[in-house]
Amino acid sequence: MKLAIQGCSHGELDAIYASLLRTEREQSLQIDALLLCGDFQAIRNHSDLHALAVPQKYLRLGDFHSYYSGEKVAPVLTLVIGGNHEASNYMYELYHGGWLAPNIYFLGAAGVVELNGLVVAGISGIYKDKDYKKGRFEKLPYDASTIRSCYHTREFDVARLKAVARKQVDVVMSHDWPNTIEQYGDTKALIRKKPFFKDEIESETLGSPPLMELLQCLKPAFWFSAHLHVKFAALFKHGQASAQKTVRTAAANTNPEALDISLDSDEEEEKEPAPQAAFGNTSASETESKAEQNERSAASSTRFLALHKCLPQTPFLQIIDHPSPHDAELEARKSALNYQQRISPTLRYNKRWLAITRAFHSHFSLQYRQPHLPDPSSAALLDKIEAEERWIEQYCLAQGSTRNSGKRKQDELEGSRAGTPQGTGEGEGVEDLDVYKIQQFVRTAPAPFEPGGLSQAPPAWYTNPQTEAFCHFVGIENKINPRPPQFAPPGFHPPPHFPPQRAGEGFQAPPAHHQDHVQAEEPTADPNALAIDIDDLESDCEQDSDNFQDGGADGGGRSVLTLSEDDELHARWKEGTG
């Protein structure tokens, strides 16, 4: 399965998708899913700008509202986490995760899903010590303090992720960096690119301490981040002494951050332990079973990669070829449709994460202070999680299979199962964990072209049907996004311009807005496509990626959300321009 990873989005969805499609054309490949590592800026209308923490001069709608309204459709399944520059009111609606727009899924404040069987975890926000142990107390309208505290990572969410079994996570997405991860890569090169991080690097205060704890606990094969607007690779070997934290200098003629489209084996890794060898070559035939992948990743190392923000001539996009448990099924579905349309990998809830959500629900606090949380590794809590897993199997899987046996899903188009092979070998009832089956995208706030969409007033409260559906599915109270008792249930209407969502298949562009570049793009058809080279995204000896030149068909004349080096230098990255 081919995955694309992107750093900070900053509302530049058009450029990101255009660059991805250009990469597909130039490299003769098809990307199965896109991972966006925060600062997504899901701004639906002008009111949402009141919930976006950026300097006044950077307040703008961006591209997302076109995908939210249905004017455009994301060409590839996209997984999103939140950063520190978000429309936090909309993210709050989908605290447990949900569709921000068709084909764009938010993992929530913390979440775990299975992408084609690959276990992907995500945690949103950035670390701030004074808010870490607080509850989710923020309410609309946000003030000067809560507009920032609402995106700060909470201990509650880190504890829930720690409770995931160590051998069960393949990929972790975060906006913030794990604290001291820079010590496991080419630290000198990082300081050359970002000299204003030097003091924090030397004092070991750069990044999030809870995320480093999480990295050591989960031991994922990969960890992807953004936030600091720089490309940086590191290799964290688990089980080694702290003496491994040495600055590693790349060979003179080698770019330590150049990553190939495929991954190496651990045998190759042992021969070349330095960061520049962390991503090597392997063939597609070397796909391993999920159990073997997890066992190896848990026992060996985590490959860390941070990427830049979306700008011309910057390393903001990376493609990797990662084996997944259901690669054969995905290929069969593509073949069944003669490769004539894009087929998305399956997206399913992780059963253990659902059990953890139930087990921790009584500890979820909306108060200023978070009550004491159970130790994620305690026997009592683990026993409770096991019991909740059995509940999920009994009430979410077994009954769901009987209830839906032989029936087409409500939002599934007739004939949409044509690409799904029979007898895939997956566990009985596993289809009842399909995200598409439980949560369907519904617009809550108006799009800009609708009544109220041009209002400049602070945003209203919206109860999101997706959050209600998720809570109903797992049998918990909707604490985070309930319907105000004084209001009648709103009448929600399906968004215009696009067909119903297909379970397990890619979204198709709406006929009225069809773009041929999804299948065959002319080389100069999309001015939003940025010039990138996935084989060598950055070369220190040839150019300074932080001082790009904006020009030509691949970026000239575009209005891009940028922050000058002067802005970055005079604002702490944790709360300023990161």
- Flag whether pLDDT at 266 surpasses 60: no
- Residue ranges making up the domain that contains 205: 2-349+409-419+439-462+484-569
Q: By mean pLDDT, which of 308-312, 358-362, 434-438, 506-510 is the weakest?
A: 506-510
CB of 75 within 8 A of CB of 69? no
Mean pLDDT of the chain: 78
pLDDT in tens, 378-435: 999 999 999 999 999 999 986 654 444 434 343 343 333 444 444 444 455 677 899 9
- Token readout for 202 is 């030397």
The pLDDT of residue 527: 58
Q: Quick one: how far is CA 176 from the chain centroid?
A: 12
d(CA 416, CA 419): 7
How many domains does the chain contain in total? Answer: 1
Tell me whether residue 281 is in a domain. yes
Helix boundaries (H) for 194-236: 198-202, 209-218
C-alpha 215: how far from chain center: 16
pLDDT-derived band of residue 553, with 50, 70 and 90 as boundaries? very low
Confidence of residue 474 (pLDDT cuts 50, 70, 90): very high
462 pLDDT higher than 90: yes
197 or 423, which is more confident: 197
Residue 174 lies in a domain: yes
Residue 322: exposed, middle, or buried by beta-carbon count in 10 A (0-12, 13-18, 19+)? buried
Q: Residue 424 falls within a domain, yes or no? A: no
Tokens of 93: 């609606």
Residue 494 placed within a domain = yes
Alpha carbon of residue 145 to chain centroid: 26
pLDDT given at position 338: 87
| The two three-digit tokens of residue 339, written as one number | 């490769």
The partner residues of 434 in beta bridges, in order of sequence, read 348
pLDDT of residue 221: 96
pLDDT for 198-208, tens place per residue?
999 999 999 99
Distances (CA, A) of 542 to 310, 507, 537, 548: 20, 40, 11, 12
Q: Is residue 448 part of a domain?
A: yes
Per residue in 557-575, pLDDT tens?
A: 333 333 344 444 333 333 3
Residue 432 has a pLDDT of 87
Q: What is the pLDDT of residue 165?
A: 78
Q: How far apart are CA 360 and CA 95, in angstroms?
A: 14
Note whether residue 479 is domain-resident.
no
Q: Is residue 477 included in any domain, yes or no? A: no
> What is the pLDDT confidence band of residue 494, given thresholds at 50, 70 and 90?
very low
Does residue 354 belong to any structural domain of this protein? Answer: no
Residue-wise over 446-457: b if at least 16 C-beta within 10 A, else e?
bbbeeeebeeee
* Confidence at residue 250, expressed as pLDDT on a 0 to 100 scale: 34
- Does residue 62 have a pLDDT over 80? yes
- CA angle at residue 170 from 169 to 172, to 5 degrees? 80
CB-count burial class (<10 Å; 0-12, 13-18, 19+) for 239: exposed
